[in-house]
Structure 1
Amino acid sequence: MRLWGGRFEGGPADALTRLSVSVHFDWRLVPYDLLASRAHARVLNRAGLLADDELARMLAAIDDLEEACKSGAFRPTVADEDVHTALERGLLERLGSLGGKLRAGRSRNDQIATDLRLYLRDHVRTIVSRLVELETALMSQAEQHAETAAPGMTHLQHAQPVSFGHQLLAHVHPLTRDIERLRDWDKRAAISPLGSGALAGSSLPLDPQAVAAELGFDAAAANSMDAVADRDFAAEFLFCAAMIGIHLSRLGEEIVLWASQEFRWIEMDDAYSTGSSIMPQKKNPDVAELARGKSGRLIGSLMTLLTTLKGLPLTYNRDLQEDKEPVFDAVDTLLLVLPAVSGLVSTMRVNTAKLETSASDGFALATDLAELLVRKGVAFRDAHEAVGHLVVWCQVNDKEFGELTDEELAKVSPHFGGDVRDVLSVPGALAARKAYGGTAPDRVRDQLDTLRETVDAQAAWATGA
């Protein structure tokens, strides 16, 4: 059943056969290969290479074979080298020699390049749907906590108070960019290689543009060599997948911190946390940790394919058999991780009291105090210095800003007066940052309004609505 061998006097060695076989992982391309086979059968018919009755029998056999593949009645065997070999065997079993006519004008080289594009364009839409679910979960939590003050951090040190909703939306914006990258990727992936043959096109009167349109592509490939040789569409998808993994990892890291005894910002739902086999009290953030850990797989898949592609001469080389497993693994990983993270986020309970009582810890209102002095005409350099001295004085004397008397303030700097207490309010600090993109609750609500429109459009694209 090999698709080659006419010029060989003997069969391949067992070691070569084991090395060459890919059907155990490319079998998932069955629906896409059969979809392309239907389109190819129709173009052979229009070219006069397949009679009308032959086309009808061919399409019926393809339909029957697809049902048999779905039910498990037809499965690949150890003798099938790849998905294409197995499916041709299935057609020959149903049609006899007529099944062999379908190979005219196409090669496994343009078949696999087409199948992989079809597979990815289909699955990218599913990935986008799962990303939309995570965006929606984060936005729902952000809406509830637009006015919840939280410690904003840099270097994992208390910096300035922020709206916790603002922080949650800081994880939504990267996800919207991830989706836009996938949508933009889809424009470049919407090119059909079918009709390119092994590398030079075909002398048969085929119609690659018609086949492309039937398969949902925007156009046929303009260069047959490029069509079968390059996998930049797969590498670009893997880059997008790796970036999604990095963004999930960052969110996962924050959730791990938020759920810790040291932070206690959130309580994870039992359905999305695990326990310890030895310590009965434990409640572990395994979903967040696995999201963080699996980013390494996604980054590794990208590196694998880029390394494979580096330095390959035109056109097809068997190295390209290594393009599918990284892609499949990335798709599987994202579709495994995203629903779990969405569930974790949507069910977590925010410890509002803990967040708000710690929002001003670590002299987090120091910047507000410096900006008060700036509004009074003090140069920011001098204001920064004065507030820095005040922080040191408070640390030495074990006091917070709000506990200082007018006399104590004056000792530190003549710039300080009793009006400093006007800005030593966390709600006031949040409300004051009302410029576009700021953490003021009103700006958080504006973000939500804009993000809802963006996410609705992304959801519509994923479903074809």
Structure 2
Amino acid sequence: MAKLWGGRFDDCIDPVLEKLNSSINTDQRLWRVDIKGSKAYAKGLKDINLLTQEEENEIQKGLDNIYDEWENEKFAIQLSDEDIHTAIERRLKEMIGPETGGKLHTGRSRNDQVSNDMRLYIRHEMYPKLSLILSLLLQGLKNRANQYILISKDETTNKPLIFPGYTHLQRAQPVAFSHWILSYAWPFKRDLDKLKYIVSQEPWGISTLSLGSGAIAGNPLKGFDRIKLAKELDFQHCSLNSMDATSDRDFIMDILYWASIVGIHLSRLSEDLILYSTKEFGYIILPDKYTTGSSLMPQKKNPDSLELIRGKSAILISNCNALLVILKGLPSTYNKDLQDDKRLLFDSFDILLSSLKIMVGIIDAFEVNEDRCYNALSPDMLATDLAYYLVNKGLPFRDAHHVSGKVVNFAEKNLTTIDKIDLKDLKNINPLFEKDVINIWNYVNSVEQYKAIGGTGTSSILSQINVLDQYLIDK
């Protein structure tokens, strides 16, 4: 079949180049939005009398039939179909005839068509799925945090689940298990907010119509109304420079960078879950359906799902970097280098969606070994509380920090723990120590003193959960 652009050529394209030039295997997933844009464009051509009402009806019906073929997996791709735009136009001509079908592309280029399709795809295909799965992850994190705010270890005790908080991977201070879970809810909430802004609110990029820009110079059709076309496709703005519109991929860069950040958040959460599920930590037990075994060692239960998420985050970053490198040396307007923007975008979308789905399942199903969490607490983690005790006695914090360090040093040299040091020995270190120092050796009291906004105390955690509750309701 003759190429759409083949009129000025005498020789056929080299088969190797034809294969390299073809993007139909990648961009066929644009079929819904390509048809959506074409239907709206046909209305615009009818409005300026370049299509009769009968011709527009034929085109609309033909596009509807093509939609049904794709929907029912009956659309037959041919070797001559370079891309999704070529395939749909070819099929339309087959259905309604080349004379009427050939009019649809009047004033339109694949340059502005693909740019517009990508914007539509992000808005109508990617955004709903990614925003939904991020909301489900937020809901899951919130639910698990709520589960461990107050738990009963026996009939007379009701206290939050507490375990070690870490800095530099060293035990630092006691924190509520719920506080740790929520420390990942907030990054994913930011991710959800940023996605909404990128897709719906920014005054450029994804919310801007590029269709009607032609190949480079714009649309020459007298009376063609791009503002009406933008409204028809639910865009907030029209591009104001046709040369910029056909080459702009900033909106894809926004999404790829955003996906990289989400990937980093997923990777860090994965790392925590991997560590906490090891025999050495033992705080959590991963569900069987998200783990695998060893072909040699029968006892193994490997966190492959989390390791894959952690590894895939590198690909998200590399996809972002790849498009940056593609763009950095291009001259103005469209260049074929941009064909790979779709592969990078779709790959990142697929990776992110599957990673988020897996993480939702893990968060909902992992078990917590409460005893291991409590048993991992050690009195030296209350050294900061000891310093605060002295601060409340009037000692400046830097001096109190120094004294608390001496207490830790004394305990280490005497092969004991700081809570077992006699009051007499404590007084020898600093006379401000009194009998009430015994109240320091309580992990629940330690956690609950952090009542200020953002702290690990129960009141602060409840406040965090309330904010997330309202956010998810409003969303």
Question: TM-score per shorter chain, which class?
Answer: over 0.9
How many Å separate the matches in 2 of 1:317 and 1:50? Answer: 31
Give the match for residue 441 of structure 2.
424
Does the aligned pair in 2 maintain the 1:105–1:197 contact within 8 Å? yes
More displaced 10-residue stretch of structure 1: 133-142 or 448-457: 448-457
1:13 is aligned with what amino acid? D
More displaced 10-residue stretch of structure 1: 143-152 or 162-171: 143-152
Structure of higher RCO (CA pairs closer than 8 Å, 6+ residues apart): 1
How many Å separate the matches in 2 of 1:302 and 1:331? Answer: 12
**TM-score, normalization by structure 2:** 0.94
The one-character-per-residue Cα deviations of 1:356-411 (angstroms, maximum 9, x if unpaired) are 2223x261100010011011111112111111111011112221222222122223
The one-character-per-residue Cα deviations of 1:401-422 (angstroms, maximum 9, x if unpaired) are 2222212222333232222211
Give 1:11-160 correspondences, 5 Å limit: 11-96=12-97, 97-122=99-124, 123-146=126-149, 147-160=160-173
How many Å separate the matches in 2 of 1:367 and 1:434? Answer: 16
**TM-score, normalization by structure 1:** 0.96
Does the aligned pair in 1 maintain the 2:110–2:215 contact within 8 Å? yes
Of residues 301, 321, 324, the one that matches 1:303 is: 321
1:114 is aligned with what amino acid? N
Helix, strand or coil for the counterpart of 1:365?
helix
Does the aligned pair in 1 maintain the 2:379–2:419 contact within 8 Å? no
CA shift at 1:449, angstroms?
A: 0.2
The answer to whether residue 228 in structure 2 is matched with residue 215 in structure 1 is no
How many Å separate the matches in 2 of 1:170 and 1:223? Answer: 44
How many Å separate the matches in 2 of 1:312 and 1:166? Answer: 47
How many Å separate the matches in 1 of 2:270 and 2:277? Answer: 11
User: Unmatched 5+ residue regions in structure 2?
Assistant: 150-159
Percent identity of paired positions between Structure 1 and Structure 2: 40
2:209 is aligned with what amino acid? S
Give the match for residue 357 of structure 1.
375
The one-character-per-residue Cα deviations of 1:77-123 (angstroms, maximum 9, x if unpaired) are 22211111111110110111211000101100000000011111121
Does the aligned pair in 1 maintain the 2:379–2:418 contact within 8 Å? no
Give 1:260-275 correspondences, 5 Å limit: 260-275=278-293
Does the aligned pair in 2 maintain the 1:238–1:327 contact within 8 Å? yes
CA shift at 1:136, angstroms?
A: 1.1
More displaced 10-residue stretch of structure 1: 225-234 or 395-404: 395-404
Helix, strand or coil for the counterpart of 2:174?
strand
Of residues 223, 229, 243, the one that matches 2:247 is: 229
2:111 is aligned with what amino acid? N
CA shift at 1:311, angstroms?
A: 2.4
2:115 is aligned with what amino acid? A
Give 1:144-293 correspondences, 5 Å limit: 144-146=147-149, 147-186=160-199, 187-188=201-202, 189-204=206-221, 205-293=223-311
More displaced 10-residue stretch of structure 1: 243-252 or 398-407: 398-407
Of residues 329, 340, 345, the one that matches 2:363 is: 345
Does the aligned pair in 2 maintain the 1:105–1:206 contact within 8 Å? no
How many Å separate the matches in 2 of 1:353 and 1:297? Answer: 38
Give the match for residue 333 of structure 2.
315
Give the match for residue 152 of structure 2.
none
Does the aligned pair in 2 maintain the 1:176–1:455 contact within 8 Å? no
Rate the CA distance shift 1:322–1:116 in 2: closer, same or farther, 3 A: same
Helix, strand or coil for the counterpart of 2:281?
coil
User: Unmatched 5+ residue regions in structure 1?
Assistant: 461-465
How many Å separate the matches in 2 of 1:184 and 1:435? Answer: 30
The one-character-per-residue Cα deviations of 1:253-304 (angstroms, maximum 9, x if unpaired) are 0000110001100111212222222212111112211111110110011001
Helix, strand or coil for the counterpart of 2:8?
coil
CA shift at 1:196, angstroms?
A: 0.6
Of residues 409, 414, 434, the one that matches 2:451 is: 434
How many Å separate the matches in 2 of 1:307 and 1:211? Answer: 33
How many Å separate the matches in 2 of 1:179 and 1:69? Answer: 31
